[in-house]
Amino acid sequence: MFSLRINKEQMEKSMLSYLVHFLHAFISLSLLTGLLLALWRPARGEKGAAPLFYSLAAGLVIGAAVNPVALRLETATGARVLLFGVAAVAALAHAALLPVMRKGRAVVLVKWWGALFLAAALAAVAAYSFVGHVSEQALTAVTVLNTELILNVAGVLVGMGLMVLLVPVVAHLGEKSTRRLVCWLVLISSLLLVAQWAADVLLGLMRLEMMQLTSLRLSFVAKVTKYLYVLPYLQALLVALLSAAFFLRRQTPSAEELQGMQKAERRKARSRVVFELRWFKWAISSVCFVIAIFLYYDLHATRPRKITPPTMLTPDASGQIRIKIAQVNDGKLHRYAMVTDDGHVVRFFLVNRSLGQGNKIGVVYDACMLCGDMGYLQEKNEIICIACNVRIFLPSIGKAGGCNPIPLAHNIQGDEVVVTSAELDKGARYFSEVVSRKVKDPVSGKELESGKARYRHDYKGRTYFFESEESGEKFLKSPETYLGQQQSRFYRTDGFQSQVN
């Protein structure tokens, strides 16, 4: 009746998700590693700076190992608090040492070990965060090589390539810029990360009941979490700032200086200008590419799919809604809605499910027993449940069960599909959208605006509005006195359709 296969769009989104999560986890590591190299490589040389990479490797191994072990031992919160707490201390300690200008050997050694500690902590947090994402969202749902696995691994590899490329680019730009600028960028990057890690640590300690939950602490965690998506953009902009500083400081010999040079020297000078310009272009291209990926993911790829607005219909004097079959027999989904007397917006749709072999019109509520009222979309010969992305073959529309849309009782009269307002009213409780409309107090008969009525009560699945508390109390004592015998609406409860008696 329905298909669980993953379509091309899903696989592309999954690949993009892995790419974006990898960039989120590692962009701070790449940025700070490049900046640390810019600070230390001129003083220690290529070989002297090698321990920085050993620290990175050790941190990556530790972070990747901690996540699965913590999950197995059911100590994920404690492990996260410890890891992020250590990283925050490392970042703050290193930031505190940056302004120290003394040249003593002991001071230099402490600062160097502080840089190594920071690199290892950054790598551990990055690996822990990304492995956590992979454990929550498997690379593939099956154990054999398939397109989904290839695309997801490709997303990780593209992210890895970008982040590896960013390290030498930032290091080169940093070495050609002023030491003061590089120190400021390290400080800003570190403080941004400390804010994130501090929120994580606070939340973890409150969950473990090692720290009292207060409104101030909870407010801090909430605010940091709310704006956390901005952090990768800020880190990319720091690379852009470094690139701009590098571009403005680059040495470009004037035409007069070039004229005074020997031919070979002139060629070398021009070559240096082109070479430095390439570094700048690589940096700006990387920043633009990363920001473009983030923007596409945040503004488009992760937005929930939305249904098309329904055509609003009003029943005729006999309480019937009539729709010409000729209007809905094209095989496309046609969405309609009716507003009930208490303001519930009840959506339903019609679609020709015969795949061009006739006029078999499926008439169903735009809601699912299992997933609720997010609605359905159409893609070729499949109807897609937005809530869970289950794809339903068109001929199945109108049949009950699973994620199929809930069937709606109707009649075919000549060339028209006829749906009664009474049947639509029964399905009001499948839908959450409520609009304000004119209603009457069933006790006093006074006309009210439902959205402004202060007093209301539910009875047999319907909402009634009252002008005063006294009026509502009279109704509750004897609803049948004012309503007579009335059929209950259906509720959606755990996938079963039941009536309220």
In a shared domain, residues 35 and 105: yes
Q: What type of residue is 151?
A: L
**For the chain, what's the residue count?**
501
Please report the pLDDT score of residue 445 as a whole number.
Answer: 81
Instruction: Give tens-digit pLDDT for 44-66.
Output: 888 888 999 999 999 999 999 99
**In DSSP terms, which residues pair with 344 in a beta bridge?**
434
Q: Which residues contact 124 (CB under 8 A, 6 or more apart)?
A: 59, 60, 62, 63, 66, 83, 86, 87
Mean pLDDT of 330-356: 88
Residue 430 lies in a domain: no
Residue 421 lies in a domain: yes
In a shared domain, residues 19 and 166: yes
In a shared domain, residues 241 and 364: no
Q: How many domains are there within the chain? A: 3
3-state SS track over 158-169: HHHHHHHHHHHH
Residue 163 lies in a domain: yes
CA separation (Å) from 428 to 91, 338, 345, 442? 56, 10, 7, 19
Q: Tokens for 225?
A: 């979490």
Residue 276 clears pLDDT 90, i.e. is over it: no
- Averaging pLDDT over each range in 166-175, 297-306, 422-431, which range is the top one? 166-175
Domain that holds residue 468: 438-499
Residue 75 lies in a domain: yes
Residue 497 clears pLDDT 50, i.e. is over it: no
Burial (CB < 10 A; 0-12, 13-18, 19+), residue 501, is exposed
Residue 478 clears pLDDT 70, i.e. is over it: yes
CA separation (Å) from 300 to 12, 230, 304? 13, 16, 9
Domain boundary among 399, 425, 451: 425
Q: What type of residue is 457?
A: H
3-state SS track over 185-252: HHHHHHHHHHHHHHHHHHHHHHHCCCCCCCHHHHHHHHHHHHCHHHHHHHHHHHHHHHHHHHHHHCCC
Which helix (H) or strand (E) element contains residue 332? none
- Name the pTM for this structure: 0.69
CA–CA dist 435, 440 (Å, integer): 15
**In DSSP terms, which residues pair with 349 in a beta bridge?**
335, 364
Rg (the chain; Cα; Å) = 32
Residue 141 clears pLDDT 70, i.e. is over it: no
Domain boundary among 381, 403, 425: 425
In a shared domain, residues 223 and 328: no
In a shared domain, residues 239 and 315: no
Q: Which residues contact 419 (CB under 8 A, 6 or more apart)?
A: 320, 321, 323, 348, 363, 408, 409, 410
In a shared domain, residues 112 and 24: yes
Mean pLDDT of 186-201: 94
Please report the pLDDT score of residue 501 as a whole number.
Answer: 32
In a shared domain, residues 418 and 319: yes
Q: Check: CB of residue 128 under 8 Å from CB of residue 19.
A: no
Helix, strand, coil shares, percent, the chain, to 5:
55, 15, 25
Q: Tokens for 298?
A: 């945040």
In a shared domain, residues 383 and 492: no
Residue 431 lies in a domain: no
Q: What is the CATH number of the domain that holds 394?
A: 2.102.10.10
In a shared domain, residues 82 and 108: yes
In a shared domain, residues 174 and 202: yes
In a shared domain, residues 320 and 284: no
Residue 261 lies in a domain: yes
Mean pLDDT of 344-370: 86
In a shared domain, residues 147 and 274: yes
Residue 433 lies in a domain: no
Domain boundary among 301, 320, 336: 301
CA–CA dist 427, 405 (Å, integer): 12
Per-position DSSP letters for 29-71, written without gaps between them:
HHHHHHHHHHHHHHHHHHHHTHHHHHHHHHHHHHHHHHHHHHH
Residue 306 lies in a domain: no
If one counts every other C-beta atom within 10 angstroms of the C-beta of residue 78, the result is: 16
CA–CA dist 201, 55 (Å, integer): 23
Higher pLDDT, 444 or 348: 348
Give percent of the chain with pLDDT exceeding 70.
91
Listed residue (448, 459, 501) closest to 483, CA to CA: 459
Residue 490 clears pLDDT 90, i.e. is over it: no
